[in-house]
Chains A and B, each alone.
Chain A
Amino acid sequence: DAGVIQSPRHEVTEMGQEVTLRCKPISGHNSLFWYRQTMMRGLELLIYFNNNVPIDDSGMPEDRFSAKMPNASFSTLKIQPSEPRDSAVYFCASSPPGTLYEQYFGPGTRLTVT
């Protein structure tokens, strides 16, 4: 089992540029979560999907952030335009059906916006 896969692992970009983060959940998992981790705010849920449908996006900071899950094996988190305050580690996690909430995290993408 390859676990949750995220790409890229590191991203450095300039303010104003578009950033796309990618996630492949564990095969068979039907829930997917995007988190952001910073020293100041800790681990925050941005959005989560169940069976490819967005269930709760109330954690998405603003309209510059968007997320999609076109199929059960792929999701993207896009920031356009990016700002220095978006610098953080972004984690994707997935959860299998019927297990009641157990979430398995990917390795994360460290984003730096200069």
Chain B
Amino acid sequence: GENVEQHPSTLSVQEGDSAVIKCTYSDSASNYFPWYKQELGKRPQLIIDIRSNVGEKKDQRIAVTLNKTAKHFSLHITETQPEDSAVYFCAANSNSGGSNYKLTFGKGTLLTVNP
């Protein structure tokens, strides 16, 4: 089955700096890679995703890159703000029961943005 590794497990940055979180996956058939943000005590929320037919996607201060050859993808947050502090999860889809809807999640990265 799919295996998703996420690094680092914790990341502390100063407000205004950039933050980068990296993930690797094992299933070469994976074609969907979402990122979720989870604030303390809240639900995971989808913030951005990328599909295997593109190498990069950007939405304001966040961007994702995908390298299918190397099987890794990354989340980039620029001009970080204290409200960006949360746990970020990457995920990759895989085939299960004949469909590709199953998501396997990384273990998460606790991002702290210091004012």
Contacts and interface: CB of A to CB of B under 8 A. Distances in A.
Contact of A58 (B42, B96, B108): B96
Interface in A87-113: 91, 95, 100-108
A105 B89 CA distance: 13
Interface string B65-98: 0000000000000000000000001000100111
A31 B99 CA distance: 11
A12 interface: no
B22 interface: no
The size bracket of the interface on A is: 20 to 34
A102 B99 CA distance: 14
B43 A107 contact: yes
Given A48-B102, A55-B101, A56-B96, A100 B51 contact: yes
Nearest to B6: A42
A55 to B, nearest CB: 4
Contacts of B51: 100
7 contacts: A43-B44, A44-B105, A48-B102, A56-B102, A91-B43, A103-B34, A103-B103
